[in-house]
Chains A and B, each alone.
Chain A
């Protein structure tokens, strides 16, 4: 094979989801044995790009992609991940794809088990009745494990493994494939302990020396600096920098990731002096066990009447904060609201005492999809605050007041410009943006003193986004509602918040006024500070 032919060459790849451009003119190439670091904020387009390379069905189902890519000089046209596997691409996803009651070996060779000679029955009924050859399977598995160079017990059940070993099992599975040449690792270190992560980085280097190319996606920049040869930085669907490891530094990467040289950094410039405002909620040492978004030790004071932003990368725990306080996931610590101690793990108490929550999980938590808008908007207020009810027999029976319900719903439909056929329409029939407005209406109907909103603009179109943010601002200004807004979109936070707390590893990394520059936030977010410190320590 010609040494000059790159293992992977991506030419002009672009992709849109129904008009929403998520990838534009992606061009890059990789040599044999190269490790390519891929960084970028959430939503920068990394996952979509990987899905294209891996031939995921989702891409074809949403209209395919533009441009092309070449493996060893041959154009690749994958119709399913199996084509990608055949072509020598392996991918390890963030979520483990392992069978708990199978051993390491069984998982590594899953559906590629070695078979013994066929028996009479398999001649008649097909080769699925061949007996499998455990010895050969074990040999192959051990071979793959050795290639990876880690200490992995081939007979251990996955359910008994520490997290790191699961990760290694997944990688071994990819390595055990014949002709494996490009390995995609999607945030493999996110769930690992520090020592496990070290081991992984070492094995990656070993693999690359063995001629396997690796695309490494991570948020931890020091890891990138440690192992990568080249670094691609993505932002808003384009590659903003293609850097050489030896000629760059963490600050430069950080800047490329978040630093958009846009019109004067769109911070909130209303310049309210919130320092003088009294505290309305005091959160001390909060912990929340929300899988994937664990909060460890979170403390902050929320000022009365402010809009507090909470940002941070995915998985760092920012979503756990409102979910924990509002009683949706087990939580502990001390939270005081208006001098009363908040009863944790008790949604009823929270709502009755003037808290409200717009969940990030609209369909799962936020809505009664099968019920009418009327129900969706008024249900919570009805149950927690006895609104929209008519007492019968001196209050013995609390009858639903259909008229009041309709009036309230129509009021919010008008106010928030919810597009629907009537207040009787089912919530599932609305578009994402309108569903989000219904969730807001539900919260407003509670007339809360403090409102948590979690990812209010996730997955909704631009028009609805502006409306939702506007409605929040208005509630804050006109009704004096204190708002705590959790979002992955820094720019969105900066546009409406007074100050923004950045969460890393379940703790406050820092609090900055919204007018601070993107770089400052970026540095907090990717804990570049930490990483730098570490490097100097070394």
Chain B
């Protein structure tokens, strides 16, 4: 009897804690039914999207561990990755070597941007997220300055990726040289579903890295800093440095993630590709059941699958349901923003509730003492 009651209560908390993923399973399910897609088509699409986005989403994990919330500044890394891609396209280096070189070029840029971003965020403790968000906009301005005005004029670029006026990169850069080169490196097809095995191996390696990182001294320090900066400082942990490192790692990973993302897409929208990446990655992570202060690898994969399932089927479902594909498109945008809003509100409210509970617990403890 008691066991029943307990398990009932447990089920209740389970539902409450996993409200967002469950909601998305329902939305996705309805969407699949009305979209009229075959299982294979959906599986294919999901495989592609999973391989394309997971790396980027994983790059958000480490700042969350360090208590800095969702790193909307990951767009900085995305921009660094794009700069790497622009250069290899200019130099005509194709295939895997091209990707590796792009990654190598992006690394120092990411480190520099991440370091600067971390410095700024240390000045804005308690409002890291909104600050990292604005940093994304600010650096986007710098990025445009470099790519649109300096490339070709100050930075030597000659090939046809330049605008006809002689400087500045075109709006779209064709990445034909590295298109799907990683995805198709180890071809694999199971029951009509093609699986980009090499990409998944890389993602798996990153997961191993994250799991290993959590076990290192630095990972332990980040968890400590994330819980209470003052206690960590008293114990002798270099709080500011640790926070900066977490942002640097996130930025560098986001750069690599962007390169993987774009090799799958095959074209680079020079001035747009990076803009929405932060939002989509954050939304996917949150859909997977993560919160602003707790996230793990399971949240990443579950989130990418559920979020992109919704994203993929919504326009078709909208078309079949109401005869308006546009409606589905707006719906998925609304859901993306809505889910982030919901997660942020729940996080802030829980923080407040915890503060209150602390006081009540104290009162309770003192009452008992009496």
Contact = CB atoms under 8 A, between A and B. Distances in A.
A and B touching (C-beta < 8 Å)? yes
Interface of A: 81-82, 97-102, 106, 110-111, 113, 115, 122, 127-132, 162-163, 191-194, 289, 291-292, 294, 296, 505
- Interface centre among A111, A132, A193, by most B CB within 10 Å? A111
A101 B225 CA distance: 11
Contact of A291 (B220, B223, B359, B369): B359
Contacts of A127: 217
Given A106-B220, A132-B216, A194 B369 contact: yes
B215 to A, nearest CB: 5
A111 B221 contact: yes
B224 A102 contact: yes
A99 B227 contact: yes
A296 B370 contact: yes
Contacts of B360: 289
21 contacts: A82-B236, A97-B235, A99-B231, A100-B228, A101-B223, A106-B220, A111-B224, A113-B217, A113-B220, A122-B216, A129-B218, A130-B217, A131-B217, A132-B220, A192-B369, A193-B365, A193-B368, A193-B369, A289-B359, A291-B358, A291-B363
Nearest to A97: B231
Contacts of B367: 296
B362 interface: yes
A162 B369 CA distance: 12
A294 to B, nearest CB: 5
B237 interface: yes
B370 A505 contact: yes
A505 B236 CA distance: 36
A162 B359 contact: no
A128 B216 contact: yes
B212 interface: yes
Interface string B216-250: 11101101100110111011110000000000000
Contacts of B365: 162-163, 191, 193
A96 to B, nearest CB: 9
Please provide the 8 A-B residue pairs with the shortest distance between their CB atoms, ordered closest to farther. A128-B218, A111-B235, A193-B369, A99-B227, A110-B235, A131-B215, A291-B359, A111-B236
A98 B365 CA distance: 18
A100 B360 CA distance: 16
B366 interface: yes
A129 B209 CA distance: 11
A110 B231 CA distance: 10
Contacts of B359: 289, 291
- Interface centre among B212, B220, B360, by most A CB within 10 Å? B220
Given A82-B236, A294-B363, A296-B370, A99 B224 contact: yes
Contact of A97 (B212, B216, B217, B234): B234
Interface string B84-107: 000000000000000000000000
Contacts of A132: 215-217, 220
A291 B366 CA distance: 10
Nearest to A114: B217
A289 B363 contact: yes
B217 A128 contact: yes
B205 to A, nearest CB: 13
B234 A81 contact: yes
Given A113-B217, A296-B367, 17 more contacts: A81-B234, A97-B234, A97-B235, A98-B231, A99-B231, A106-B220, A110-B224, A111-B224, A111-B236, A128-B216, A128-B221, A129-B216, A129-B218, A132-B220, A192-B369, A194-B369, A289-B363
